[in-house]
Each structure stands twice: as C-alpha cells, then as structure tokens.
Amino acid sequence: GQQLNQSPQSMFIQEGEDVSMNCTSSSIFNTWLWYKQDPGEGPVLLIALYKAGELTSNGRLTAQFGITRKDSFLNISASIPSDVGIYFCAGSNTGNQFYFGTGTSLTVIP
C-alpha cells in the first residue's frame, strides 16, 4: 500500500519549545488525520482535516491541510513532557481506507 513520507523521523526538544512536523504524499488526499501514540497503546486521534487549506486547532496543537492536497503539517506550541510519543499522519481519498506515515518520535527534555 501507499506510504506517506513523514518528517522528521525523530525530534529531541527542550520543554517549552515549539514543534513542527509534516507529511507528504505523491497522491492527492481528501482527508488528513493526525494521531498520537503512547508506548504500548493504540493511536489516539488528535485532529481531522477535510478541506484543502483548512487550519484546525486542538489546544496547543494546530494542523493544516496543504493547498496542494498532497501534504499536511502539525505544530505543537509550548511543548510539555506529556507530549512525548509518536505522531502519525494518515491520508485518504475514499474515506474508508487510510494510508499512514512512518511516524515522528518526539522526546521532550524537561
């Protein structure tokens, strides 16, 4: 199946810093999703995007649906230790089948 390119693969940041990560695809998507996964648990949905150019926030998290519909971005402001985890993007053009990125591992140093 199709794989999305997610970058960076890993990040080590100081508490309080902002975080940016992105996801790109060779195909156009109608839906972009962002998830966070803690060790040993299932991914938890953070933000869903359904329209090109859409900018959506969830607390300190903001995600954008790229205008080209081939990319999406996730920003975390003022990081805290509990932000630690792996962040996944997922894209779909059918609504039923999603393709997932390889994940960005975030480490927050207190």
Partner 1 sequence: SQTIHQWPATLVQPVGSPLSLECTVEGTSNPNLYWYRQAAGRGLQLLFYSVGIGQISSEVPQNLSASRPQDRQFILSSKKLLLSDSGFYLCAWNAGIETQYFGPGTRLLVL
Binding site for partner 1 (CB under 8 A): 1, 3, 30-31, 33, 35, 40-45, 48, 50, 86, 88, 90, 92, 95-98, 100, 102-103, 105
- How many angstroms from the chain centroid is the CA of residue 82? 16
Cβ contacts of 83 within 8 Å, gap of 6 or more: 19, 76, 106, 108
Question: Minimum distance from CB of 18 to partner 1 (Å)?
Answer: 23
Contact between residue 92 and residue 28 where contact means Cβ atoms under 8 Å apart: no
In this structure, the chain runs to a length of 110
89 DSSP β-pair partners: 34
Nearer to partner 1, 14 or 41 (CB): 41
For residues 66 and 86, what is the distance between their CA atoms, to the nearest angstrom? 21
Cβ 45 to partner 1, closest distance in Å?
Answer: 6
Between 64 and 91, name the residue whose CB sits nearer to partner 1. 91
In whole angstroms, the minimum distance from the beta carbon of 55 to partner 1 comes to: 18
19 versus 91: smaller Cβ distance to partner 1: 91
Of the two residues 73 and 88, which places its CB atom closer to partner 1 in the complex?
A: 88
